[in-house]
Amino acid sequence: MKKLFFLPALAIIGLLFFQGISKTASESESLSHEIAPDMPPHIKAIVEQKCYGCHNAKSKNEKGKEKLDWDEFEASKKSKQMATKGKIAEVLEAGDMPPAKFLENKPEGKLTETELASLIEWSAGKKKSTQE
Ligand code: HEC
């Protein structure tokens, strides 16, 4: 008679176990979504050409890599990226990047109007005003 009590108990334990598994699965799913945010290929291409050289962990540009490490930025969470994107939009809107000093020696490093507009649109989440 006593043995029958085991059955519902086993069922409950099994159910709890299953719930636990499905919960961690959905949690890690939303976590990976948080880690892998949008990085459009055309933005990546511009950054790799015009920004990455100074803004990566191995750059010789100490100040540049200290302020922004692109690989770290790409790997970071959405919330952190939002803050960095704000800074990127700021320097772009002010025309501060790439630095003027650098462009004196390497004018081809300058962003074209289209590239600048794309980067601002991406980082600030808006279109650049064309009425100027
Ligand atoms: C020739 C090297 C060089 C290139 C190319 C360059 N940067 Fe920089 N960047 C720097 C340096 C140096 C600093 C630090 C400036 C300072 O602290 O005054 C910096 C700082 C920044 C910062 C941080 C500003 C802050 O105050 O936190 C951002 C954002 C940035 N750059 C974005 C960009 C973007 C976007 C591009 C490409 C369009 C770019 N940079 C290209 C050298 C470079």
| pLDDT tens digit sequence for 120-132 | 999 998 765 554 4
Reference 115, options 13, 19, 42; nearest CA is 42
Task: Give the pLDDT of residue 85.
Answer: 95
The boundaries of the domain holding residue 65 are 41-124
Determine the residue of 43, 48, 55, 82 to mutate for testing ligand 1's pocket, defined as the one with the most ligand atoms within 8 A of the Cβ atom. Answer: 55
Q: Whose CA is nearest to atom 13 of ligand 1?
A: 64
Q: Which atom of ligand 1 is nearest to the CA of 106?
A: 1
CA nearest to 123, candidates 99, 88, 93: 88
Both 62 and 79 in one domain: the answer is yes
d(CA 75, CA 32): 11
Q: Which residues contact 8 (CB under 8 A, 6 or more apart)?
A: none
Whether pLDDT at 19 is above 80? no
- Confidence (pTM): 0.76
- 7: pLDDT confidence band, cut at 50, 70 and 90? low
Ligand 1 binding pocket includes 122 (Cβ within 6 Å): no
Q: Where are the alpha helices (DSSP H) in 1-75?
A: 6-35, 41-50, 62-67, 70-75
On whether residue 132 sits in a domain, the answer given is no
* Residues 68/98, Cβ–Cβ less than 8 Å: no
Number of domains comprising the chain: 2
**Ligand 1 within 6 A of CB of 120:** no
Same-domain pairing of 99 and 115: yes
- Same domain membership, residue 45 and residue 85: yes
Give the tens place of pLDDT for each residue, 81-115: 999 999 999 999 999 999 999 999 999 999 999 99
User: What's the pLDDT score for residue 32?
Assistant: 46
Residue nearest to atom 1 of ligand 1 (CA): 102
* pLDDT one-digit tens code per residue, 53-72: 999 999 999 999 999 999 99
Q: What is the pLDDT of residue 39?
A: 81
